[in-house]
């Protein structure tokens, strides 16, 4: 499988409250890894380890303070801002707080990415209907978010994230607000999507879920640094000159 994501010596800090002489500490430091197309990844680590910050770099909501990031073979760090919206459509995102539009129905929330992309209305309704059925919400198409349970809202968020058939799905703690049974169901939905060819990256601190998908690859963060499978800090290899 081809490499679709490459991080090299990536660092990230948010602002410099102390000025140039006392810059803010990095929330990610010397992070290097690659992701293969069509694989399933868990991103783990304690609260504050940097999981959400790393995901923001993956779905282009944030640019790194230093280092190299290549997505789908292109330099994501120097990419012109005008290209970002179209490029982001290749990446589906499931946010921890759902971010559903409150005045829209479940169906209209799921349809939103297609409409933003300019898909003709005649080609929107059937895919949305099928996607809601796929996540078990075919009978809740007209319900607004406030009338849905936490698990139902999360399934709408997943359906919205994958309606455009993204090449990569990034999910930030997608099971953090649901009960264990629903958490496993949501995980299996994402695994089904992965089996269709989508690369999936799920950030979670729920180690029980990790055992449910033994084929998944685990990336572990500790205080902004990536660990290797033994739990030791994974420092980036030296850069090759020439």
What is the predicted pLDDT for the residue at 168? 96
The pTM of this model reads 0.87
What is the predicted pLDDT for the residue at 239? 45
Q: Which of 201, 233, 205 is nearest to 216 (CA)?
A: 201
What is the predicted pLDDT for the residue at 237? 44
Residue-by-residue DSSP string for 110-139:
HHHHHHHTT--GGGTHHHHHHHHHHTT-GG
Q: Which of left, alpha, beta for 103 (phi over 0: left; psi -120 to 50: alpha)? A: alpha
pLDDT per residue, tens digit, the chain (242 aa), is 799 999 999 999 987 555 556 678 899 999 999 999 999 999 999 888 999 999 999 999 999 999 999 999 999 999 999 999 888 889 999 988 889 999 999 999 999 999 998 999 999 999 999 999 988 899 999 999 999 998 899 899 999 999 988 999 999 988 877 778 878 888 888 898 899 899 999 998 877 778 888 889 999 999 999 987 555 555 444 444 43
């Amino acid at each position: 499988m081809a490499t679709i994501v490459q991080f090299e010596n990536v660092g990230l800090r948010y602002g410099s409250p102390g000025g140039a002489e006392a810059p803010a500490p990095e929330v990610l430091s010397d992070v290097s890894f690659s992701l293969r197309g069509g694989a399933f990844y868990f991103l783990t680590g304690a609260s504050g380890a940097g999981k959400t910050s790393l995901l923001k770099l993956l779905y282009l909501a944030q640019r790194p303070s230093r280092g190299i990031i290549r997505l789908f073979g292109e330099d994501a760090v120097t990419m012109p801002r005008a290209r970002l919206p179209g490029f982001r459509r290749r990446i589906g995102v499931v946010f921890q707080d759902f971010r559903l539009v409150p005045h829209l129905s479940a169906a209209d929330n799921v349809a939103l990415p297609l409409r933003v992309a300019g898909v003709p209305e005649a080609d929107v309704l059937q895919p949305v209907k099928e996607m809601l059925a796929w996540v078990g919400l075919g009978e809740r198409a007209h319900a607004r978010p406030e009338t849905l349970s936490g698990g139902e809202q999360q399934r709408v968020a997943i359906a919205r994230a994958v309606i455009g058939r993204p090449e990569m799905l990034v999910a930030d703690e997608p099971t953090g607000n649901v009960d264990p049974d629903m958490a496993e169901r949501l995980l299996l939905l994402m695994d089904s999507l992965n089996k269709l060819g989508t690369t999936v990256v799920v950030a979670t601190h729920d180690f029980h879920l990790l055992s449910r998908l033994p084929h998944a690859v685990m990336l572990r963060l500790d205080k902004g640094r990536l660990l290797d499978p033994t739990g030791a800090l994974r420092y980036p290899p030296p850069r090759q000159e020439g």
